[in-house]
Chain A
Amino acid sequence: MVKLRIGFFQGIFWLVFILITIFMVVMVGGLLFYGEWAAFLSVIRNPEFHFAVVFTLWTSLLATVLAAAVAVPCGFILSRYHFQGKALIDALMDIPIVLPPLVSGLALLILFGPVLGNTLDRLGLDVVFSARGVVVAQWFIATPFAIKTFKQAFDAIDPRLENVARTLGCSPADVFLRVTMPLAKGGVLGGLTMAWARALGEFGATAMLAGITRMKTETLSVAIFLNMTIGDMQFAIATAVIMLLVALILMSVFKVVTGTGVRL
């Protein structure tokens, strides 16, 4: 434990921090308060809900893994190399952050429908209106967050350490695996958390690309949408609360285990 000696300046920081914490707690509390226990229990017993939980977990994890697979090389290149038009490409990779998810979804729909649809159909890898579409949409939305955080993690490493490793006879791959990655671990894990969190809550792009089909492309956010549309507020709130708790628990465990906070 660090002993806290609070001066005026830190006092202001603490005040803001505490206020925001209270705001978050009250917000979550409001959701809990507005829900009814009976609805809560019936949601937990609902097979549609079970499907949505399992489906959301595996799609978002898969999307996170794929996002990481893309973000490690991209983040590394953006961090270590300078080339013509780098700023533009960097900005291009941020597009999914800037675009409304609905627009992202529409862009993906055009890409995987009219443009690539027939080819993918022949390969039996249809993306549109399928579970695969959900993963693709989540991956698309989550990847820029991973790229950004990974790039920052690589930026923070002193390149001289890598050079020293090279002079000691490591191959570039060796250097990356034994020096760069261990040093960037904190940032990378933080980035993974961010990407996963983003994939977990993804709705707009998913709805457009994968469609909203019960028990097929039904993630938790889709389930909430569906129950809102038929005026079943209680089911929607109960689902939202459970989703919130699951996310909170998983994130906390992950942060404690890896000793990372999310850094952005």
Chain B
Amino acid sequence: MKRLVQVLATMFLSLLMAALVTGCGKPSGPSAGGEGSTSQAQGKASLFAYVGANLKDPVSELAQTYEQKTGVKVELTFNNSGALLNQLETMKKGDVYMPGGMPFVEAAQKKGYIEEIAGPIAYHTPVIVTPKGNPAKISKVQDLGRSGLKLVIPDKEATAIGKTVFKTFDKLGITESVEKNSPTYVESPAKVVAAILMGQGDAGIVEYSNTYKNLEKLDVVEIDSAVNIVDQIPCATLNYSNQKDQARDFLEFMKKEGPAVFEKYGFKTKI
């Protein structure tokens, strides 16, 4: 028995060593799976873009199309708009910043990171979602201030949609009661959808495009356009870019091709 354990332990350790060696022998950057060969191999440097997680689908498709057209790979890293801003601030590198809303680009611009802004590629429109059948009978945004509701709201600092919708709440003077009704803030509108689907709240705020995949399980209550604040989804190039021409070229491409693709994924592109 003891021998067996020893043999197995040796095997395990040699396996680990093998992993170590193969791991160390990996080329830098992309690894395993043979996907995304290193940019040097293609003779064209790839672009690096910080993209709001909520825009994953349309931007992924656009990046792919761009690569097919120009041979330039666009590497996308996703996160919420605030975290991206932190990353870009810390690293001082990258070529394109595309958060979920204008305030983040403006914040980056104030700090001198932004070279050029194109947009709006699409609009982000806050909407109210409720579980199927709307059990809490919410018909307008003012209803969210009703006492005794349980709301799931995207974070007002970290997410673009949260930032926007709180401006509406401020305008209507219901911020305080909404905050009372929100036991928690989540870090992305998609999390709001998940929470509402799992019956964790009477209503939540998401971006219009978050709803199109789950229309059979959710009810959507549009916010009256008289009070709703609709934000632009811009795309910007960064001053840190060491290939500004290529980055600007991508921006042009986004301006031209972007809206149609965004529309396909349920975003509003016209006001």
Contact = CB atoms under 8 A, between A and B. Distances in A.
Contacts of B90: 106, 109-110, 113-114
Interface string A16-60: 000000000000000000000000000000010011001100110
Given A65-B19, A211-B77, A212-B77, A229 B53 contact: yes
Interface residues of B, number: 46
Interface stretch (B27-35, B162-170, B254-262): B27-35
A229 B213 contact: no
Q: Is the interface of B mostly helix, strand, loop or mixed?
A: helix
B91 A113 contact: yes
A132 interface: yes
Contact size range, A:
35 or more
A131 B79 CA distance: 17
Contacts of A130: 28-29
Contact of B5 (A129, A230, A258): A258
A261 B9 CA distance: 15
A114 B240 CA distance: 13
Q: Is the interface of A mostly helix, strand, loop or mixed?
A: helix
A214 B91 contact: no
A248 interface: no
B197 interface: yes
B3 interface: no
Contacts of B83: 102, 207-208
Interface string B46-61: 0010000110110010
A185 B57 CA distance: 48
A211 B83 CA distance: 10
A254 B83 CA distance: 37
Among B90, B188, B197: residue with most chain A CB under 10 A: B90
A174 interface: no
Contacts of A211: 77, 79, 87
Interface of A: 47, 50-51, 54-55, 58-59, 61-62, 64-65, 102, 106, 109-110, 113-114, 117, 124-126, 128-132, 135, 185, 189, 207-208, 211-217, 225-226, 228-233, 254, 257-259
Which A-B residue pairs are the 9 nearest by beta carbons? A211-B77, A62-B23, A229-B53, A51-B33, A131-B31, A61-B19, A215-B35, A229-B190, A212-B78
12 contacts: A47-B33, A51-B35, A58-B19, A113-B90, A216-B35, A216-B36, A225-B53, A226-B78, A230-B54, A230-B190, A257-B12, A258-B12
